[in-house]
A and B are shown apart, each in its own frame.
Chain A
Amino acid sequence: MNKGGAGGVGGGGSGSSGGGSGPTAAAVAAAAQKQKTLLQRVEADISNIVDNFTHLVNVSRVNDLPVRNSQEAFMMEMRAARMVQTADSLLKLVSELKQTAIFSGFASLNDHVEQRTVEFNQQAEKADHMLARIGEEAAASLKELELHYFSLAERASDIPQL
């Protein structure tokens, strides 16, 4: 029932996440079918829980027959276990939805990836400009230092005079 795994690759099944751009008709139908299935599961689970709880409340009456009370005690335990099991399956459904959201939100993923690409390109450009600026400043400093060094008076006085 669940889709096979594929992340980062454009594919079908994005209808539930807001209508992908240009999915085929089969993909749209599959998405609608899946959505319907999930909704059915949700409804079944919730009605299951409500049903069990109703039964649980209904047997709260104390009967004269102790055997009937014992029966009802066992039934109550069974209903409670069923309720917890249904709640667990609902949570699993939520997990599946989360996974689907992670792997099928292509539009937002693509936007984010493009945004990050632009950011990184800008950072790289900035770094490159900075490196160029550092190089230029270093060259200027080097030139200044060289001029300063070679114009030192004491350097000129090292040579013995006649």
Chain B
Amino acid sequence: MDGKLEVSLDRLPVKRLDAIEENGLEHFPPDVGYDERRLSLIRRVDFAWAIEKDDNKKQKKSSKESSKPWQWQGMVENLQLAHQELSIIIDLINTVEANDAVTVAGMTRPKPLPNEVLSDLSVSAATKLQCFRHLGKYFKQSAKALEQQVAREARFYGALIRLQQNWKVKRQRGAASAPGSEGFTIDLFDNSLYDPAAVFRPSSLSTVHVDHDSAGMLSINLPPNSYRSLQFGFSGPHTDDSLREPFKMKTSSTRESEKESVSDDECVKETHSLLREVHQAIFDEQVFDLVSREAFNPSLGVNVTGIQENYLQMSIGQGTSVFISITPSSQGDQTVESSGTQNLDNAILPLDTLDGVMLPEEEQDTPKQKWGLPNRVSYEIYLQQIFHEHVFLRAKDRPIYAGNRISGQGAKDGCGLLVHFCMSLSHRIFSNKVLMELDNVVCRVPYLQLISHPTWHSRTSSWTLFMKVPQSILRAGCLAHTSNNHRVKNVIKCQFQTKVVVNDDCINVEGEGAPNVVGLFKGNSEEISSMNRYNCDLADLSVIILQQVASQIIGWLHEEALLVGIKVNRDFLCLSFELEQGETLSLVAHVDPEDTRGCISWWLVMDDSFNEERELHIDISDGASEYKKFLGHLSLDVLYSTLMDLVSLCCGGGSL
């Protein structure tokens, strides 16, 4: 309110005479009732100022709002008005309820206006439409989820079908049949054994559970180090190679993390590989089981020298110890396949018999070390192969081709396989030693050749020492003058052979050259030398071979001398010429396997029958005696010319 205040004064409430009549009657104004008086007072209040104020406010508001009209202003005002009316009605109803004297007689709903009907209808329609849209979204979501589930199942079952083509898939019902895992397992146990009495317990690895991974794809989860593989090796101080991982494919440690990015095909392939590894692990365990059982049967050639859990050490012949163990195949190792192929690439071609694949160790310097222990991996494979073929295959299913290496050894039952294996191994080591001896001999005798004969038998080895003698120019001309037998002999005797055969650890030498005693007495050249066959030890092998060769040379020189027509006598390693004065000139062979300049050396010995003090010494002393002369290590050509010189000496006479 402004400071301006208007005050109006009422007239005093004094009764004033309105009128007076002539007779003196007074007329006063009628009395005003209480209500009327109050009403007149209320009317006299001047509300102009409030009305003006409201008008001012309204004008201001309209001036403001005329610049920015709000689209919902009308609706807001309508709602406010409706709210006011509703509050009035509610107040009225409350008053009526509070007042018992007054009750509501009746209410009638006002007839809805057309626009209200239409708006109600539109609201309902919109609500229903919204409901349908919501349902539509729900259906789409469900369809998508079901499609994904179908796709996941298709992947899973597709992979399972592919696995089932190679493995035995089993279904387990009654187990926790959660939607994620329907209880599929893969049975890796091979019950098609040749010998059912072998009693193989199904190992814990035999049943592999099939799980789902996070993408719904089939996966097989095996704890690390859960399966083991067979290891075979040589134990002892002379082994020089550290134990390598078995020659198998290994899975890389990053396989799990890369699983999401591989395709289904690769996933199935990896699963195949994993199952194959487990299958092999089961086989290895069975082989180890069989080996352990056989090892404790008393047998020659196999002695158990050490035993631990999953480890068995045995001593086979030749001072060698081997061990067989089952060790966990740890995942995450480097792929051994690459190192295995590297080994193959760097392998030196074996100069040995080819019983199975044999790879020598790393390159060695001296020939003695070259023929060390055989390759560990090849014998590991061999062990697995013979057990697989003779125990795990049914007799009727044994393939026809089997037998390149095993057929010659006859049928083996389960209890002889380990013995056979150990004897093969010891034979290999022994034959290496034999070959070393032969190699030493052949290296030092240049006219001697070594020919290897692969026997394709794991316990037999064979070599031939071959010597070719120079062709005599007289030989062709003398054919007509000699007997038939002699001519045949002369035609054949261009080469001499000595055959060395090793069976297990038995050396058998066969060759001509060593004269038999009867032939010596008879003096018949046909019976002097014949094919001899005898056994010998490893220590004596070199000497025996050299003696054989030297006697073959003596025999050849003897034949050549006879061809020329000179009378010569032949002893084991000695060829004697008779001189005119009754003296004997002998060409003597001396064999010494330790001689590095050559194993066969020649001496010329003069034997005077008048002097009994002279003896035939065969030693390596310098031939200073006038009755012995050291000729040296002669080649065959030089020997032949020496012979011719001696022949001419015998014919021409004269003295030394």
Contact = CB atoms under 8 A, between A and B. Distances in A.
Contact of B631 (A64, A128, A150, A162): A162
B124 A135 contact: no
Interface stretch (B6-14, B99-107, B451-459, B565-573): B451-459
B351 A124 contact: no
Interface in B444-484: 446-447, 449-452, 454, 456
Nearest to B153: A95
Q: Which of the listed residues A6, A73, A88, A141 has the most CB atoms from chain B within 10 Å of its own CB?
A: A73
B578 interface: no
A99 B171 contact: yes
B467 to A, nearest CB: 10
Given A91-B150, A156-B446, A5 B171 contact: yes
B164 A143 contact: no
B436 interface: no
B635 to A, nearest CB: 5
- In which size bucket is the chain A interface? 35 or more
- In which size bucket is the chain B interface? 35 or more
Interface string A127-143: 01101100100110111
Contact of A99 (B165, B182, B354): B182
A2 B171 CA distance: 12
Interface in A1-22: 2, 4-8
A3 to B, nearest CB: 8
Contacts of B166: 116
Interface string A69-92: 100110011001001100110010
B397 to A, nearest CB: 9
Contacts of A80: 135, 138-139
A39 B189 CA distance: 37
Contacts of B95: none
Interface string B167-197: 0111111000000001100010000000000
Contacts of A138: 349-350, 354
Interface in B189-242: none
A124 B399 contact: yes
B172 A131 contact: no
B50 interface: no
Interface string A116-127: 100001001100
A112 interface: yes
Contact of B354 (A91, A128, A139): A139
Interface in A99-117: 99, 102-103, 109, 112-113, 116
Given A91-B146, A131-B404, A84 B157 contact: no
A124 B397 CA distance: 13
A131 B404 CA distance: 9
Nearest to B642: A162
B401 interface: yes
Nearest to A3: B173
Contacts of B404: 128, 131-132
Contact of A159 (B125, B187, B442, B634): B634
B42 interface: no
B632 A102 contact: no
B344 interface: no
Interface residues of chain B: helix, strand, loop or mixed (majority): mixed
A76 B597 CA distance: 110
Nearest to B357: A131
A150 B466 CA distance: 10
A54 to B, nearest CB: 14
B456 A5 contact: no
Contacts of A76: 131-132, 135
Nearest to A124: B399
Contacts of A77: 131, 135
Q: Which of the listed residues B120, B135, B642 has the most CB atoms from chain A within 10 Å of its own CB?
A: B135
Given A7-B164, A135-B354, A142-B351, A72 B128 contact: yes
A139 B454 contact: yes
A36 interface: no
B173 A102 contact: no
Interface stretch (A25-33, A40-48, A55-63): A55-63
Contact of B172 (A5, A62, A83, A87): A5
A112 B165 contact: yes
A146 B449 contact: yes
Nearest to A85: B142
Contacts of B447: 156
Contacts of B153: 91, 95, 98
B393 to A, nearest CB: 11
A7 B170 contact: yes
Interface string B99-128: 000000000000000000000110011011
Contacts of B121: 62, 64
B447 to A, nearest CB: 7
Given A56-B135, A60-B132, A62-B124, A102 B638 contact: no
B127 A73 contact: yes
A126 to B, nearest CB: 9
B433 interface: no
Contacts of A135: 354, 454, 456
Nearest to A70: B127
Contacts of B399: 121, 124-125
B450 A146 contact: yes
B128 A60 contact: yes
Contacts of B139: 80, 83-84
Contacts of A83: 139
B259 interface: no
Contacts of B164: 7, 102, 109
Contacts of B124: 62-64, 66, 69
Contacts of B401: 124-125, 128-129
Contacts of B402: 128
Nearest to B354: A135
B157 A141 contact: no
A125 B404 CA distance: 11
A73 B128 contact: yes
Contacts of B131: 73, 76-77
Contact of A102 (B149, B161, B598): B161
A72 B132 CA distance: 11
A5 B173 contact: yes
Contacts of B638: 161-162
Interface of A: 2, 4-8, 56, 60, 62-64, 66, 69, 72-73, 76-77, 80, 83-84, 87-88, 91, 94-95, 98-99, 102-103, 109, 112-113, 116, 121, 124-125, 128-129, 131-132, 135, 138-139, 141-143, 145-147, 150, 155-156, 158-162
Interface of B: 120-121, 124-125, 127-128, 131-132, 135, 138-139, 142, 146, 149-150, 153, 157, 160-161, 164-166, 168-173, 182-183, 187, 349-351, 354, 399-402, 404, 442, 446-447, 449-452, 454, 456, 597-598, 631-635, 638, 642
Across the A-B interface, the 6 shortest Cβ-Cβ residue pairs: A5-B171, A150-B449, A84-B142, A7-B170, A8-B168, A139-B454
21 contacts: A5-B172, A5-B173, A5-B183, A7-B171, A8-B169, A76-B132, A76-B135, A95-B157, A99-B157, A99-B182, A112-B165, A129-B401, A135-B456, A138-B350, A139-B452, A142-B452, A143-B451, A146-B451, A146-B452, A150-B449, A156-B635
Given A77-B131, A159-B598, 11 more contacts: A4-B173, A8-B187, A60-B128, A62-B124, A63-B124, A72-B128, A99-B182, A103-B171, A109-B164, A142-B454, A146-B449
